[in-house]
Structure 1
Amino acid sequence: MDERQLRILRELGDLGSVSAVAEALHVTPSAISQQLRLLQRSIPVPLTERAGRRVVLTDAGHALAAAAVEVESAMARARHAVTDFAERPGGVVSVAAFHSAASAFFPPLLRGLAGPEHPRPALADEDVAQDRFPALTRDYDLVLAHRLDHAPPWPRTVTSATLLREPLDVALPAGHPLAAKPLLSPRDVADQPWITVHDGFPLMATIEAIAAFADRRPDIAHRINEFTVVAEVVAAGGGLALMPRWTTRAHPGVVLRPLGDVHARRHIDVLHRPERTARKAVRTVLAELHAIAAQIQGRDTSATT
C-alpha cells in the first residue's frame, strides 16, 4: 500500500470509472488497473467490484478511500513542514574546520551572521588526516578540509568547492641567515632541521618533495600540527617549517619566505553531503564562507600591490 495507490482508490470513488481516473491522472487505464491489483494484494477484503461494465468501490473500498483522504492530508502537511524548514533563513548550521582554517574563518563567520534573522553557526574543530575529512560530513553540515594542490580530488560521495588556494611558505627565525633571501629553493632548506606535521597530513608531502628535489633525506626534528605552536618553536630556533601564508597569525620572531621549484600550495575546500544545501540556512553559511575567503585573499593582494 502506498500513497499513489490510495489516491487512485480515492479518485475511483469520486469519478466512478477507471477510464475517468486514468484521464484525470494522465496515465493509461491499464496502469490504473495494475495499481488497483497491487493494492488489493495487501488488503484481505475486496475493494472493488463490477457494476455492469464499470469497476466501482465496495463498502470496504469506500472506507479505505475515506481513510486515503486523511493520509493525503497528512502527507501534504509533512511536505509543507519540510519545505518550510528547508526555506527557513535561520536555524543551526554545524561547521567543522581544521585548526588554522578555524582560526581564519570562524571569527568573521560569527560576525557576519550575527543577528536573529541569520543562521546560527555551531562550530567545531576537527584536525584529522586528509582521508578522514569526507566522513565528517555525516556529522556536520559543512566541513572545511585541506589537501595539497596536486592531491587526488575528494570522493564523489561528497560535494566540494575550493575556498582558497593558499601558498605554503618557509617559516624561519627572524635572525636566520636565509631570512635575507626573497625566494628560497629546496637546496637552500633541505639540510635544515624541520618542524613538520604528523604522517597523513598534507604538508608532509611537500617536505618530502623538497628533500627529493635536493636529493637529501629530510631531517625531521619535531612533529607538531598546531601552527601557533609551530611558530613558537620556529622562533625559539627549533627548525624550519612550512606554514600557510594567509590563515596563520603573524609572529614577531618568525619570517615567511616563498619557496620555488616545488608545488607549495594547499587547497582549503568546503565539503558537504549534497542534500545539506536543500536548507536555505546552509546555503547562506556556505555563501558567507566564500565571501570570507575572498576577503582573506584580497588582503594579501592589496598588501602586495
Structure 2
Amino acid sequence: MDERQLRVLRELGELGSITAVAEALHVTPSAISQQLRLLQRSIPVPLTERAGRRVVLTDAGRALAVAAIEVESALARARHTVTDFVEQPDGEVSVAAFHSAASAFFPLLLRGLAGAGHPRPALSDEDVAQDRFPALTRDHDLVLAHRLDHAPPWPRTVIALTLLREPLDVALPADHPLASEPRLSPQDVADQPWITVHDGFPLMATIEAIASAANRRLDIVHRINEFAVVAEVVAAGGGLALMPRWTTRPHPDVVLRPLSGVQALRHVDVLHRPERTARKAVRTVLAELHRAAGTIRARDTGAPRPDTGSPGGP
C-alpha cells in the first residue's frame, strides 16, 4: 500500500462514491478504481463491497480509512520536518579541506560565520590523493580539493566550483644564489635537490613538467606533503620545492619565485553532491567560502575585499 491508495480509501469513506472521489481528486473514476484494486492486493480481507450501484467500505475498509488519517498526518509532519531542516539557517555544515586550504580558509570561515543565526561549521582536514576527493562528499557537505590547471575535470557525480586558480612558485632559502632572480626557468632549477609531495598528489605533475622542460631528471631528496614542514626544510637548505603562492603561510627565511616555461597553476575547488545545497545553511557556507577566496587573492593583489557572495549564494 502507498499514500495515494490510502487517501483514495479515506476519501471514499467520507464522500461515499467513486465518482465523488474522482471529482475531488481531479482524476477519472477508472483511476480511482485502479488504486482501490492495487490496495486490495496487499490486504487479506475485502475493503469494499457493492451497495446497489455504489461501492462502499466494509468494516475493514473503514478501519483502514481511519488509520489512513494517522498515516497522512504522520507524513505531513515528516514533510514539515524536512522543510524546516532545509530552510534552517543555522544548522551544522561539515567542511573538509586539504591541509594548505584548511590553513587559509578555515580561520576566515569561522570568523565570517561567527555569531548567532549563522551555520555552525564542522571542520575536518583530509590530505588525500586527487582521485579520492570526490568520495569525501559522501561524508561531508563541502569538500575543498586541489587539482592542476590542466588535469582532468572532476567526475560528473559531484558539483565542482573553483575558489582559486593559484600560482605555484619555486620556494628556496632567502640566501640562495637564485633568490635574487625575479623569475626562474626549469633550466635554472633542474640541477638543485628537490622536496616534493608523495606520488598521486597533483603537484607531482608539475615537478615532472619541470624535468621534461629541462630535459633532465630532478634529484628528489625528500617527500613531504605538509607545506609548513616543507618551508622549514627549504629554510634549512634541504632543497627547493613547489609551493602555492596564496594558501601557505610566509616563512621569514624562504622566498617564492614565479616559474616560467611550464604551466604552474592549481585549482582550489569546492566539491559537493548536488542535493547538499538544498539546505540554506550549506548555501550560506558556500558563499562564505567564495568571500574567503576573494580575501586570500586580495592579500597578493592588494585588491579590496569583496563584500558579496558568489552567484547562487543564499
Letter in 1 for 2:279: R
- State the match for 2:72 in structure 1: 72
2:237 aligned with 1:208, yes or no? no
- State the match for 2:147 in structure 1: 147
Letter in 2 for 1:217: R
- State the match for 1:184 in structure 2: 184
Shift of 1:27: 2.1
Alpha-carbon distance in structure 1 between the residues aligned to 2:86 and 2:71: 22
TM-score (norm 1): 0.96
CA RMSD of aligned residues (A): 1.2
Shift of 1:158: 1.6
| Unpaired stretches in structure 2, ≥5 consecutive residues | 304-314
- State the match for 1:220 in structure 2: 220
1:95-174 → structure 2 map (5 Å cutoff): 95-174=95-174
Deviates more, 1:148-157 or 1:39-48: 148-157
- State the match for 1:287 in structure 2: 287
Secondary structure of 2:56's counterpart equals strand
- State the match for 1:301 in structure 2: 301
- State the match for 1:253 in structure 2: 253
TM-score (norm 2): 0.93
2:74 aligned with 1:56, yes or no? no
2:76 aligned with 1:90, yes or no? no
Letter in 2 for 1:258: P
Letter in 2 for 1:83: T
Alpha-carbon distance in structure 2 between the residues aligned to 1:53 and 1:271: 61
Write the deviation string for residues 57-78 of structure 1: whole angstroms up to 9, x where unpaired. 1121111111101110110011
Letter in 1 for 2:210: I
- State the match for 2:268 in structure 1: 268
- State the match for 1:240 in structure 2: 240
Secondary structure of 2:302's counterpart equals helix
- State the match for 1:42 in structure 2: 42
Alpha-carbon distance in structure 2 between the residues aligned to 1:297 and 1:240: 24
Letter in 1 for 2:153: P
2:25 aligned with 1:14, yes or no? no
Deviates more, 1:130-139 or 1:50-59: 50-59
Letter in 1 for 2:298: G
Secondary structure of 2:152's counterpart equals coil
Shift of 1:100: 0.3
Alpha-carbon distance in structure 2 between the residues aligned to 1:52 and 1:266: 78
Write the deviation string for residues 137-166 of structure 1: whole angstroms up to 9, x where unpaired. 111111111111111111122222111111
The number of residues matched between the two structures is 303
Secondary structure of 1:184's counterpart equals coil
Write the deviation string for residues 67-97 of structure 1: whole angstroms up to 9, x where unpaired. 1011101100111111111111112211111
Secondary structure of 1:111's counterpart equals helix
Q: 1:261 to 1:23 in 2, by over 3 A?
A: farther
Secondary structure of 1:96's counterpart equals strand
| Unpaired stretches in structure 1, ≥5 consecutive residues | none
Secondary structure of 2:121's counterpart equals strand
Shift of 1:19: 2.4
Alpha-carbon distance in structure 2 between the residues aligned to 1:186 and 1:30: 77
Shift of 1:52: 2.6
Secondary structure of 1:114's counterpart equals coil
Letter in 1 for 2:215: D
